[in-house]
Structure 1
Amino acid sequence: PTLSARLDFSAVVAHDGQHSRWMTALHRLSARLSSSRPRQVATLVATVLIGGAIVLFLTPPAEYLPEGEEPKTFASMSAPPGYNLSTMAAIADEVEAEFLPLVGAAPADYDAGKLAMPPLKYLNMGVDAERLRIIAEPVDPAHMEAMMDSITQVYRRYPGMGAFAARGSIISSNDGGTRSVTLDVAGADLAEIYTVASRLEREAERVFDNPRIQSQPASLSLAQPLIEVHPLWSRAAEVQFSTQALGFTVAALTDGAYLDEFFLGDDKIDIYAYSQRTGTRPDLAALPGLPVHTPIGATVPLSSLATLKETVDTSVVRRVNGRRTVTLNIIPPRGVALETGVSRVRAMIQQLRDAGEIPDTISITLSGASDQLQATQESLSGNYVVALLLVYLLLVAIFTHWGFPLLIMTTIPLGIASGLLGLAMMNGVGALLPLLGLPPLTQPFDMITMLGFLILMGTVVNNPILIVHQATLNFREKAMSAVDAVNDAVSSRLRPIAMTTITTVCGLAPLVLIPGEGTELYRGVGAIVLFGLLGTAIVTITFLPALTALVLSLFRKRT
């Protein structure tokens, strides 16, 4: 106020008529829509029908969270049972020879078709007896999907190998966590569990177009060569060997027995005991003849205390809640939302059960992001109800009336519909950007985007408050007719409404319309609020005046 008192606004007032045409046009539109009972009803019905159609047909399927993607991939090749480190190292050399020439290559060569695979910024590779893992980043982030497809295609050239690639994420684990439909297949019989999990994996490949599927354990085959040690309990009792002591001895003679741990600075170091004869690489053929020192002081061969049997089985048994379990992570293609993916997976499971391919002894539960999506949606629904109640009670306190705040509350669902319409328009226009040589712009309907509706509930009511408050003031204290009271309110409040809307939209526009690093997480919230406020501004000068005039006229007749 102090600064305003010292400023000269006479020039602005003198030129005010040059900028009032559009204000006058908006006021005339508002007055025309609320001038008579038929027009009021027609405006209300048309607005409600349009808003309902938008919510019904344009509400997109939900995602869980923004992926918070890093521009790199984590790609794993899982070996089938029976592979050893030397074999996997040889395969790693072949894979490395194929990808190393791509490091530092020009993206333009790939776009021109001179390279079969996208150029890489770097290549990091690790290998062990069961898995080969690549961490890589494309030179051009637009080649991310093509790079992941290329790596998995190279992996699948090797018979029996499992291939899985996922984008890096700053929010979840690097296994597609925010878009992964996780299935826990549990039962008592491992062979039955593996059969069902393999069938689900094949069916998911059919239901989705090129999904990324990872199983835990990586190999769904009971073909791992093993040596089972079956203790001879009577012989063990003769030499005073307990069950725990015999198991510890066998572990020390083979893979090593865990003793304890200690800390060296900040590093935790495990202590294992190994046989002096076998070391860390035991000769399994010599295992029956290895000497075992017994508690009574005698030394006997292991074969005198246990029967050794060669067999094939699985080397890994996962348990979830105490039950044997195989976990499948199914990541739908980019064009399939998580909610849609969950629906398809549920239908797939039911179809296989109806066909008798999933026995009653096998239970399948959805967990991970798919389960968290449902829980978060239920939590947000409760928050929406609480927010609506708080806004309504606050308006009741402001107006000291239980009915007039309901006029303002009607703009909230219409603001939500406007946000959904704007989100659909933004994605539609963003899909056409590649035609102009620009990267596509897409905004998933994730949980953080849905938080924009909570923000809208507190912001879209600001402009309607101006109209309803002034209209009721004119109606009560100045004894104006309902239509005149509303028209005067719109005329006096139209400029403040325009100023607040324009400044807010301009402030949010860079976040929503200019893609870049850091905008992915909050672009959805900004889009919902921006388009919701724009839509509410239109509703405030069309739908709300008609509704307010209709209600005030009915109120006068009753009184």
Structure 2
Amino acid sequence: SFGGLALGVGLIVDNGIVVLENIIRLREEEGEDLETSALIGTKQVAGAIVASTLTTCVIFLPVVFMQTVSGLLFQELALVVVFALVCSLLVALTLVPMLSSRFLTVQKGMDNKKGKFQKFFLKLETKYSGILEKTLQHKPMVFVVTAVLVVGSFLLVPIIPVELAPQTDADEIDIDLEMADGTNIAVQNLYLKELEDIVRATLPMEDVEYFTTEVRDGRAEVEIAMVPQSERSQSTSDLAAEIRENLTGKVPGADIRVDAQSGLWILRRVFGGGGGEDVQFELRGYDIDKAYEIAQEIKLRVENIPGIVEVRAGRSEGTPEERILFDREKIADLGLSVREVAQVIQTNIGGSRAGSYRIGGDEYPITVRLQPEDRLGTLDIDNISIRTPDGGVIPVSSVIRKESGRGPEDINRINGQRVTNITANLESGIALGEAVESIQAELSDFPLPSGFTIVFGGEYEEQQKAADDFAMSIIMALILIYMVMAGQFERFLDPLVVMFSVPLAMIGVIPALLLTGTTLNIQSLMGMIMLVGIVVNNAIVLVDYINLMRREKNMPVLEAVIEAGRLRLRPILMTTLTTVLGLLPLSFGLGAGAEIQASLARVVIGGLTASTLVTLIFIPVVYITTDQLLEKAKAINWNPFSSTKEVELAN
């Protein structure tokens, strides 16, 4: 929600700027009194700002219904921005004209004592009118240059790294120490003491707030809380890399993993989404022992990929156990069953359940056991005797065979297939998408036996779901925006002209990502969705005013385009500037966790800046071109883009 407020700071003043600028222009240039200027000025732009506000609001509608992590992240942000924009629209249509009619100090007529800022805009408007007039004489060249810029931007997309969420410094380092199950607690504490000594020698202790340690069977976790990033000279990723290097081979018999928390670490904790590893994939197959062997081979390959560290494959060694294998043929020859032999062994070692006892609605099991001093352990199984149906007594050892080993702690299944998990972490600066592509390339020639498959999960799976969500959201946003504009213009052609401004945003988005070293992630994708609704606002204001010039002043189309461009240049540049400046502090990623919103801000700044500059030239060219095509179509009595009123009159 705070992110929504930060994003809305620059957007909420846009409507007020458009209304106030038009009121001032009428007062200065046409000499209208304050009340008339406020009334007419607001009326002239009311439709445009209502449409532009609605186009910005409707883009968030698909986001609200997302069911993935993206929805969880952006639902509150969307609601905050929408409510802020609706309130700003109400203020722009009511409070701004009322205050302007009473307190505006602008004098009638042209003021010769304009400030430097106003004189600058007057010169800029004159210069822009001249440039626009020349470009309208070279429309094919404008189309070619614009197409080259857009296509060139899309061609740069594959070189941008892809990940689920931007890397953030969470002021925390986690160390996971894993040993064989059954390891004595004293041995665990000894290993943990060695680990802590190495960590304390590696870290600048003035940067450490506290250590917390959790020890359980065969495993220990150390959480190191660091001081805020602004008070440290090194990032947690760099410190984690140093710890990892210093711990390598220093604690024998232990599998150690060091992780600097970043990205969606908060969501992992709140919603339990994964174990915290950067890369997670599954080896699926029915033979669990064969899967373990394959997983070890995959681990050896993945470990050789640069940037991938701390690879773990397969299940842990598990708990020590004694396996009892029955000689079924011999048991049958003696007239016994496997169940009878197993029950005798169970009774002598742990006892057997004889029934249950109910009282007060509760049920308690009844177990028959030997006296503690008579109970046998697994090593004494050979001393157990069993009576055969003919009255003879034989040792159990004659019909069983014992094996010592370790059993799996758990067996995971997905769709009936047993799953062996393989996980790894990434070095700082390595994007998730890049790492997965490297793993897929490394395993492309791996001889995977029949019946086994490799499926990537964890953050990569969530990343793919998010990409599908955002693709659908962009499509839905375009449809909703077109519907809003069709209702505003009451024509089918004008909204298409405005929609040409959407791909122009890519001219600024891709260079902004490349120049700032920003990845494609859910935040930058959300910025692109926002751009779909924001970049059309300038085109809406421009096209609406062109139609106003033609409708109320009966201007020829070329003159109307140039005049509307001149008059709307100032509000377009001012609204763009306020939005960009409002997002500028957010784009720097200053402060703890601020990096998470920086990607979104950079995308909007780059896309909006480029789109505005190109829109001021390209949209007038598109408008003139479509109008000329429409006139030619009318000449042969064919007009699929007629308004509803025109169709009714024709009928």
Instruction: Report whether the alignment pairs 1:367 with 2:460.
Output: no
Superposition pairs of residues 387-536 of structure 1, within 5 angstroms:
387-427=477-517, 443-475=518-550, 478-536=553-611
CA contact (8 A) 2:153 2:506 kept: no
The 5-angstrom pairing of residues 48-447 of structure 1 reads 48-58=147-157, 60-66=160-166, 70-80=170-180, 83-100=183-200, 105-106=205-206, 120-139=208-227, 141=229, 142-153=234-245, 154=247, 156-168=249-261, 169-172=265-268, 180-219=278-317, 226-230=321-325, 234=331, 252=350, 284-286=378-380, 288-289=382-383, 303=396, 307=400, 309-321=402-414, 322-353=416-447, 358-427=448-517, 443-447=518-522
Measure, in 1, the Cα distance between the counterparts of 2:335 and 2:227: 66
2:268 match: secondary structure: coil
Residue 457 of structure 1, CA deviation: 1.7
User: How much identity, in percent, do the aligned residues show?
Assistant: 21
* Conservation of the 8 A alpha-carbon contact between 2:285 and 2:417: yes
Alignment-mate amino acid for residue 116 of structure 2: Q
1:35–1:483 Cα contact (<8 Å) kept? no
Higher helix share: 2
How far residue 9 of structure 1 moved from its aligned partner, in angstroms, is 2.1
Structure 2 counterpart of 1:18, one-letter code: K
Q: 1:4 — aligned with what?
A: 100
Offset, 1:412? 0.8
Q: 1:14 to 1:225 in 2, by over 3 A?
A: same
C-alpha contact (below 8 Å) 2:531/2:607 kept by paired residues: yes
Task: Call closer, same or farther: CA 1:55–1:167 in 2, change over 3 Å.
Answer: same
Paired with 1:54 and 1:125, the residues of 2 have a C-alpha distance of 49
Distance across 2 between alignment mates of 1:461 and 1:367: 37
- Distance (whole Å) between structure 2 residues aligned to residue 34 and residue 246 of structure 1: 101
Q: How many residues align?
A: 508
* Greater C-alpha Rg: 2
Distance 2:348 2:413 in 1: 27
Report which structure shows greater RCO (CA 8 Å, sep ≥6).
2
**Counterpart amino acid of residue 311 in structure 2:** I
Deviation at 1:57, TM superposition (A): 0.6
Q: Which runs of 5 or more structure 2 residues have no equivalent in the other structure?
A: 1-96, 357-364, 388-392, 636-651
Q: 1:90 to 1:40 in 2, by over 3 A?
A: same
Matched with 2:116 is 18
CA shift at 1:391, angstroms? Answer: 0.8
- Taking the aligned partners of 2:216 and 2:396, their CA distance within structure 1 comes to 31
| Alpha-carbon shift at residue 274 of structure 1 (Å) | 12
The more displaced of 476-485 and 443-452 is 476-485
Change (3 A) 1:87 1:70: same
The 1-side partners of 2:543 and 2:553 are apart by 15
- The offset of 1:164, in angstroms, is 1.7
SS of 1:70's partner is coil
Is the 2:237–2:428 contact (alpha carbons within 8 Å) kept by the matching residues of 1? no
The 1-side partners of 2:548 and 2:257 are apart by 66
Contact 1:183 1:365 in 2 (8 A): yes
Q: Tell me, in whole angstroms, the C-alpha distance in 1 between the residues paired with 2:105 and 2:584.
A: 29
> What does residue 431 of structure 1 align with?
none
| Aligned alpha-carbon RMSD (Å) | 4.1
Query: Is the alpha carbon distance of 1:8 and 1:78 closer, same or farther for their aligned partners in structure 2, counting shifts above 3 Å?
Result: closer
TM-score (norm 1): 0.77
Shift of 1:520: 3.2
Report SS of the residue matched to 1:460: helix
Take 1:178 and 1:420, find their aligned partners in 2: how far apart are those partners?
30
Q: 1:187 to 1:553 in 2, by over 3 A?
A: closer
Asked if structure 1 preserves the Cα contact closer than 8 Å seen for 2:323 and 2:405, the reply is: no
